[in-house]
């Protein structure tokens, strides 16, 4: 069975809740219309379709749009060797959706990272706390409205007390250049900056 056939099977099971499958560059994707039904859809994908490996859960900030966030799940079936991408939307007003840790225990750290970096809460998560930033940090650094230079903190000895400069830093691409490789920060040498 192919990934497209599995996506069509998912669509047949859940009807209008699942979008028509799309293929792009050999990858198959579907969209879930209601984030509240994520556990039901993922349970079916795992138990009935053999997507026994949760490769990744990530999020996208669609700042300025409603719904603001897209949460993206990447599944893989070890037996049938197919990948499937499932995405769903979460509004800024709600900023919450159910956890899938009851389906795949490995969702634990993925969901914690999304909470830590974007502020999306996962209801009934067994241990929803920050995984990268320290407890009590009031911001979500991967949101598009978070300044690139960071924000000052009032916590001395924990982090910078002034914003960190970013211009010309080691992870900032250089403007211009004939191609993307020339702009890549990792290929620049101290003499060329």
Three-class secondary structure assignment of the chain: CCHHHHHHHHHHHHHHHECCCEEECCEEEEEECCHHHHHHHHHHHHHCCCCCEEEEEEEEECCCCCCCEEEEEEEEECCCCEEEEEEEEECCCCCEEECCCCCCCCHHHHHHHHHHHHCCEEECCCCCCCCCCCCCCCCCCCCCCCCCCCCCCCCCCCCCCCCCCCCCCCCCCCCCCCCHHHHCHHHCCHHHC
Tell me: the pLDDT tens digits for 75-132? 999 999 999 999 999 999 999 999 999 999 999 999 999 999 999 999 999 999 999 9
Q: Which domain holds residue 152?
A: 148-188
Domain shared by 118 and 40, yes or no: yes
Is the pLDDT at 34 greater than 80? The verdict is: yes
Domain shared by 93 and 160, yes or no: no
Q: In the numeric block, which tokens belong to residue 37?
A: 């039904």
Tell me: the pLDDT tens digits for 134-187? 888 888 999 999 887 777 766 655 554 455 555 555 556 566 667 766 766 656
CATH of the domain at 40: 3.30.460.80
Q: How many domains does the chain have?
A: 2
Task: Find the mean pLDDT for residues 18-29.
Answer: 96
Note whether residue 13 is domain-resident: yes
Domain shared by 24 and 106, yes or no: yes
The pTM of this model reads: 0.79
Note whether residue 193 is domain-resident: no
Specify the pairing of strand 69-77 against strand 22-24.
Answer: unpaired
């Amino acid at each position: 069975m192919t990934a497209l056939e599995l996506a069509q099977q998912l669509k047949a099971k859940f009807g209008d809740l699942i979008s028509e499958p799309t293929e792009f560059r050999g990858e198959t994707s579907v969209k879930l219309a209601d984030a509240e039904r994520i556990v039901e859809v993922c349970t079916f994908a795992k138990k009935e379709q053999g997507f026994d490996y949760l490769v990744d859960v990530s999020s996208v900030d669609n700042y300025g749009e409603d719904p603001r966030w897209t949460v993206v799940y990447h599944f893989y079936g070890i037996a049938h060797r197919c990948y499937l991408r499932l995405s769903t939307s979460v509004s800024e007003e709600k900023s919450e959706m159910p956890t899938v840790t009851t389906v795949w225990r490995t969702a634990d750290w993925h969901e914690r990272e999304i909470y830590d970096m974007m502020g999306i809460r996962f209801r009934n998560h067994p241990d929803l706390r920050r995984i990268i930033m320290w407890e009590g940090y009031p911001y979500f650094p991967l949101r598009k409205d978070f300044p690139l230079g960071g924000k000052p903190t009032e916590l001395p000895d924990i982090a910078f007390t002034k914003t960190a400069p970013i211009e010309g830093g080691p992870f900032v691409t250089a403007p211009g250049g004939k191609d993307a490789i020339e702009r890549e920060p990792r290929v620049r040498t101290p003499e060329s900056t």
